[in-house]
Structure 1
C-alpha cells in the first residue's frame, strides 16, 4: 500500500511540475513559432526516466498531452480536432524522447550517478543534446503535417525546439537530481551548493530576458505602427478624394441651367477621373423621377439604351420592373459601362440601405456613404455607395455616386503594405466587417484607429503578418536566455565537479570492478551471439599448425561440428581441405607479421562440408590468432544466378544481346590482330506468328526452345547463338575463313529448322530466313557487320523465305 502511494505521488509530481513549468516556458516562445527558448519540462521528463526508469513514461505522456491541450484551449474558444491531434503527437514525441534520453544516460553513465567526473558530464551534455532531436523532429514534422507550422519555418522551429529542450535538460536535470537523485546522501548535500545557486542565477537571467524581450517587442513594432498609420492615412485620403470627385461631378450638373448633361458629356468627365482613380468600380448618375414622370422618362432613355426600364431586385433575387411608388432614383448614366451593365435602370430607392443613404445625402446636402451592401453588378463581394445630392432650383434633382468594391478598393490602395500588414476595416454603425485579410483571430489587436466618412463611423485594425514578424524578429532576448541557461548549466557542472570529488574517490574501486564485469559480460555476449563464426587459434609448438582454443556457436553451425569436438584439435586435422583452400597459409602469415588479412570468398571442400567461405584473420596482442568467417555459399549462388539472368535469355538459355555483343567485339578484336575472318548470321523464323496466334504462347515458347536446341547442334562449341527478340536470332562464327563454309553452316541451320517439330501433340512446320555477313569484307565494325547481315536476311525473306543469303554490296542499293 505504501509503495502504491509513493508511485502515485511521484506520478502526480511529474504531471504537475511538467505542466506548470511547460506553460510558463511556452509564454517565452517566439512568435510565430511553437517552441520556447528554454523548455524545462524536457529536463523534468528525462530526469524522471533517468531516476525512475520507464515507469515514468505514462506520466510524461499524460503531462505533455494535458499541457498541449491547455495551450490549444488558450488560443481559441474551444479545443479543435487539430489541437487534440497536435497535443497527441507532441505527447508521444515527448514520451519517446524521455525514454530514449533516460535509457541513453543510464546506459552511458549508469544509475545511481554522482555526476562528479568530466567524462560523465560530457556524456550527459552530448547525449542530452542528441536525445533532444527526437521530440524536435517528430513534433515539428507532425505539426507541419497538420498545417500548424509553415514549411518556410520548419528549420527555425526545429532548431529552437531542439535548443529549448536541450537547455531545459541541462538546467533542470541537475536540480531534479539534487532533490530526488541517488546516491541520496551525495545529492542531498548538493541542494544548497548546486540547486539553489543554479536556481538564483537562472532567475536573474529570466528577468534579464523579460527586459530584453520588452525592448525587442517595442523596437520590432515601430515600423509596423508607422506602416499602419500610413495605411490609415492612405485610406482616409482616398475616401476624401471621392468626396472631392463627387463635388466636381455635382458641379457638372449644377452649372447647366436646366441641369441637363448628355450621356457623352458624363462619359468624358468620368473617364478623365477614372484614369486617376482606377480603384473605383463605377461613377453613376441617378436622377429623381416622380411616379407620373416614369413612363416618359423610360421612353426617353430607351431612345439611347434599348430596353431601359426602372428596375428593382425581386424577392427571388432577380431583376424586375420596379413597383409603383411616389419617386425613383434609377441609375441612368454609369461609367465605365463594361462590367456595370446590370446597374442601368436600378432604382436606388428600392432597398432600405440605399434609401437611407439617399435621405442622408438629401437632408445634409453632403457626401453620404452607404452601409455595406451587395452590389448589383458584383454579387460576389460587398461594396459601398458614396452619394452626393444634386439640387437644382431648390429641389432634389438626383444624386451622383461612386461605387466601390471594398476589397478591390483596399487592395489597390495598400499593395506595398500587403506583405507587412493584416488589415481589417469595420463599419461601426452596421457592426459589419467590410474588409478582412487576417490569417486568424489574434488574442489582441496591436493597432486600431477610428475615423469618420460620409456620415458613417469606421474602425481600422491591423496586425503584423508572419513575414513581418520573421523579418523583424529579434534574437537578443532569446540569445540572452539561451546563453544564460547554458552558463547556468556550466556553473552547475563546475559545482557538481567540486562537490563530488570525495565521493568519486570512494566509489572508484567499486565502479571499476562493476565496469570490468559488465565489459566482460558484454564481450562474452557479443562473442557468443555474433552471426559470423569466430574461432581462436594458438600456434602449435612446431609452428607448422594451429590449435583451436575457442569458438562461438555460429562456428559450430557453419562447420557442422560440436564445440567440444573442435577445441584442442589442430586445423590440419579438422579441416583437411585447408591447405588447398589457403587457410593455413593465411594463419601463418598473420601470426608472423601481425598484419590482419582478408581472405576473399573461396570454395572449401572436405569430406564433411563444402561451400564458399570468406575469412578475416588478425592477431591478438597475446599472440592468439582470431578468424572471423562466414558461409557465403548462398550469396555466391545468388550472384551466379543474377549473372546468368543478366547475360542469358530466360526462355531458351541462349546468350542475350549484351553477351553476344561482348563476344562479337572480342572476336573482332582477335580477328583484327590475327588478320582472320569471322561471320555473323541474322536468322528470322518464318511462319512463327501463326503458330503463336493459333496454338498459343505456351506452344510458341516450346517451339523457340526446340529451335535453340536444333541450331546449337548445327554449330561448334566456340560459336555463339543469341536470341535477340521474339523469333529473331544471331549467330557468331569466329575463325571462318571461307564464305562457302559459312553458307554451309547457314544451310545446315536452315535445313534443321525446316524439319517438322512434334510439340504438345502438334506437328509444326516453320522455316527460316538467314542473312550472312563476313568480317572484314562486309563490315569492319560490329554495327556495320550486323546491319549488313540484317539486310541480307531481309533479301532472303524477299526471295521467298526459307533460304540463306550472303551479303552483297549491291543489296545496299535496294536497302529497305
Structure 2
C-alpha cells in the first residue's frame, strides 16, 4: 500500500508540476507581454501628451495673436488722431468702416474714443455734442468728479453700442485702473473682468476692454508727468469673452475645454470664459490638463486647458491594445503547448502505474485481490467509526467446485470462476466491493449496511444467484456456496477481527451442510 501510495503521489506531483510549469511559463509570457504593452502604452501616452501640448500651445498662441492684432488696430486708430489735429465723427466712422471689424475680427464690439472732459469744460462739451445732432447726450453717470471722460465716438454706432455713448469709463474702478496704466506707460492696457455697458441683460457675457492713450500732437511725452499733462483721451475696444474666443481653439475645438481666469489665481470669481460651461462640475475627468499664463497689456490671464473625452478617443493609439491582445494569445498558445507536452508525459507514467495496479486485482476475474480488499476494508471501517454506521463482510466458499476442476480441467474451472464473479458483482451495489482471495474463495464487502437483516438479504441473494445452473461450453454445472457473515462493530472492531469472524462463520455454514448462510457467533 505504501509503494502504491508513493506511486500515486509521484503521478500527482507530475500533474501538479504540469500545472505549475504551465502556470510559470504563462506568467512569464504574460509578464513579458505586459512589459512590452507598458512600453507601448507609455509611448502612446507620451504621443498623446505631445499632441495635447501642441494643441494647447496652438490655442494659447491664437489668443495671444488675437490680442496683438487688436492692439495693432488701436495703434492704427491712434495714428489716425496723430495725423490731424481734429478727427470728425464722419472721418472716424469711415476709418473704422474700412477695417471691416465684423468680418475680419471676431469678438471685438467696436472701436471708440473716450475723451477727457475737464470739469470746467463739461457744460460746453455737452452742448457741443448736442448741437451736433444728439440732443439727449450727456455724460453718465451723473455727479461731480475731478475728471470726466466720455465715449464720444464708437463704431459701429448702432445697436447695443448706443448704450455706451456718453459713458464715463473713468468713473468705474476696474476700467479706471487700466486707463491709468495705459496713460502712464504710453502702451496698451487691458482691464480686469467687467460687464460691458453694451449688455442688455439677455445672454450676458463677461468682457474686458483694451485701451491705448491718445496724446496731443507735437508735444513731448517722454516721462509719466508729461504723458499725464498731455493726454487727450483713449482709443479703446470692448470685447465680449465668448465672442472673442470664438474660433480661437481652431478646428476640432470640441476636443478642448478652455477656461480663462482674470489674474493669476484659479477661482470661480475670476472665471471669464469656459468653453464648456454647460458641463456639470466634475464631468470633465481627463488627466490631460495644462495651466498657462498669457501676458498682454500689463494684464495676466490664467488659461486652464483640459482634454475632452473625444480628444482621448480620437488620439488614442490602437498599438498597445493590439500588442496586449497578440501577447495574451501567444502566451496562451505557448502555455497550451507546454501543458500538452507535460500532460502526455504524466499520462504515460500514469498508464505505467495503472499497469502496476494490476497487482491489486485478481488476474482471472478482475476482482480486487486480498491486498486491495484490506485497503478498502480499512477505509470503510474509518467511515463507519466516524458515521456510527455498519459494515458487513461476507466470506464465500464455493461448494462442489473441486469436482468440476478435476473432471473437466482448469480451463472449465476458470470459466466457471469468471461467471461466479460476474454473478457476485450483479448482486452488489456500486459502493460495495466483491473480491477473490484465491482458488474458490470470494469476499463481499458491504458498506453502510443497515442491520443484520439487510446483510442476510444480500447474502441470500448472492447464494441464490450462485446456485443457479451454469451453462459453459456446452456443459451444465451445478455448484453452491457456504457464506459466513460478520458485521462491524458487533462481530469485530477492526479489519482482522472482522475477517476472522466472517471466516469462522463460513466454516460454520459448511459444517451445517453447505449451501447456507451463517452469521458470526456473538458473545452475549
TM-score range, shorter chain: 0.5 to 0.7
The residue number in structure 2 matching 1:604 is none
Distance apart, 1:500 and its partner CA: 4.1
Q: Kindly tell me: are residues 429 and 227 of structure 1, through their superposed partners in 2, closer, same or farther at Cα, counting changes over 3 Å?
A: closer
Question: The residue matched to 1:450 in structure 2 has which SS?
Answer: strand
**Residue 382 of structure 1: which of 199, 206, 211 is its match?**
206
Q: Distance in 1 between matches of 2:299 and 2:15?
A: 71
Give CA-to-partner distance per residue, 1:413-463, whole Å, 9 cap, x none. Answer: 344241443333333346533222256455644544433110012333434
The residue number in structure 1 matching 2:184 is 363
1:399 and 2:234 are equivalent in the alignment:
yes
The residue number in structure 2 matching 1:433 is 271
The residue number in structure 2 matching 1:453 is 296
1:326 and 2:146 are equivalent in the alignment:
yes
**Residue 77 of structure 2: which of 237, 242, 249 is its match?**
249
Which structure is larger by alpha-carbon Rg, 1 or 2?
Answer: 2
1:194 and 2:28 are equivalent in the alignment:
no
Question: The residue matched to 1:256 in structure 2 has which SS?
Answer: coil
Give CA-to-partner distance per residue, 1:283-317, whole Å, 9 cap, x none. Answer: 121111122322332232233223222223xxxxx
1:235 and 2:63 are equivalent in the alignment:
yes
Give CA-to-partner distance per residue, 1:128-170, whole Å, 9 cap, x none. Answer: xxxxxxxxxxxxxxxxxxxxxxxxxxxxxxxxxxxxxxxxxxx
How many pairs are equivalent? 315
Q: In 1, are the aligned partners of 2:111 and 2:237 still within 8 Å (CA)?
A: yes
Q: Distance in 2 between matches of 1:293 and 1:241?
A: 35
Distance apart, 1:469 and its partner CA: 2.9
Q: Kindly tell me: are residues 190 and 347 of structure 1, through their superposed partners in 2, closer, same or farther at Cα, counting changes over 3 Å?
A: farther
1:470 and 2:313 are equivalent in the alignment:
yes
Give CA-to-partner distance per residue, 1:368-427, whole Å, 9 cap, x none. Answer: 001111111125111110001112254221111011112211113344241443333333
The residue number in structure 1 matching 2:172 is 351
Question: The residue matched to 1:385 in structure 2 has which SS?
Answer: strand
Q: In 1, are the aligned partners of 2:115 and 2:234 still within 8 Å (CA)?
A: yes
Q: Distance in 2 between matches of 1:228 and 1:382?
A: 22
1:295 and 2:119 are equivalent in the alignment:
no
Question: The residue matched to 1:330 in structure 2 has which SS?
Answer: strand
Summarize the alignment of residues 172-211 of structure 1 with structure 2, pairs less than 5 Å apart: 188-190=16-18, 192-211=20-39
Question: The residue matched to 2:180 in structure 1 has which SS?
Answer: helix
Q: TM-score of the superposition, structure 2-length normalised?
A: 0.54
1:266 and 2:78 are equivalent in the alignment:
no
Summarize the alignment of residues 46-195 of structure 1 with structure 2, pairs less than 5 Å apart: 188-190=16-18, 192-195=20-23
Summarize the alignment of residues 576-655 of structure 1 with structure 2, pairs less than 5 Å apart: none
Distance apart, 1:496 and its partner CA: 3.6
The residue number in structure 1 matching 2:105 is 277
**Structure ranking higher on relative contact order (CA contacts 8 Å, 6+ apart):** 2
**Residue 336 of structure 1: which of 153, 156, 161 is its match?**
156
Q: In 1, are the aligned partners of 2:152 and 2:165 still within 8 Å (CA)?
A: yes
Q: Distance in 1 between matches of 2:292 and 2:258?
A: 12
Q: In 2, are the aligned partners of 1:286 and 1:332 still within 8 Å (CA)?
A: yes
Q: Kindly tell me: are residues 500 and 324 of structure 1, through their superposed partners in 2, closer, same or farther at Cα, counting changes over 3 Å?
A: same
The residue number in structure 2 matching 1:418 is 253
Q: Kindly tell me: are residues 305 and 281 of structure 1, through their superposed partners in 2, closer, same or farther at Cα, counting changes over 3 Å?
A: same
Q: In 1, are the aligned partners of 2:151 and 2:166 still within 8 Å (CA)?
A: yes
Distance apart, 1:486 and its partner CA: 2.3
Q: In 1, are the aligned partners of 2:113 and 2:236 still within 8 Å (CA)?
A: yes
Moved more, 438-447 or 201-210: 438-447
Q: Kindly tell me: are residues 445 and 369 of structure 1, through their superposed partners in 2, closer, same or farther at Cα, counting changes over 3 Å?
A: farther
Question: The residue matched to 1:193 in structure 2 has which SS?
Answer: helix
Q: Distance in 1 between matches of 2:331 and 2:105?
A: 62
Q: TM-score of the superposition, structure 1-length normalised?
A: 0.36
Give CA-to-partner distance per residue, 1:348-381, whole Å, 9 cap, x none. Answer: 0222111111111111111000111111112511
Question: The residue matched to 1:211 in structure 2 has which SS?
Answer: helix
Q: Distance in 1 between matches of 2:292 and 2:54?
A: 13
Question: The residue matched to 1:331 in structure 2 has which SS?
Answer: strand
Q: Distance in 1 between matches of 2:127 and 2:329?
A: 87
**Residue 330 of structure 2: which of 470, 476, 487 is its match?**
487
Distance apart, 1:214 and its partner CA: 1.6
Question: The residue matched to 1:332 in structure 2 has which SS?
Answer: strand
Question: The residue matched to 2:81 in structure 1 has which SS?
Answer: helix
Question: The residue matched to 2:247 in structure 1 has which SS?
Answer: helix
Give CA-to-partner distance per residue, 1:657-684, whole Å, 9 cap, x none. Answer: xxxxxxxxxxxxxxxxxxxxxxxxxxxx
Structure 2: give runs of 5+ residues left out of the alignment.
Answer: 1-10, 220-228, 355-524
The residue number in structure 2 matching 1:214 is 42
Q: Distance in 2 between matches of 1:350 and 1:445?
A: 43
The residue number in structure 2 matching 1:776 is none
Q: Distance in 2 between matches of 1:277 and 1:229?
A: 21
| Higher share in helix | 1
Q: Distance in 1 between matches of 2:206 and 2:55?
A: 26
1:311 and 2:137 are equivalent in the alignment:
no
Question: The residue matched to 2:257 in structure 1 has which SS?
Answer: strand
> What RMSD, in angstroms, separates the aligned Cα atoms of the two structures?
3.0
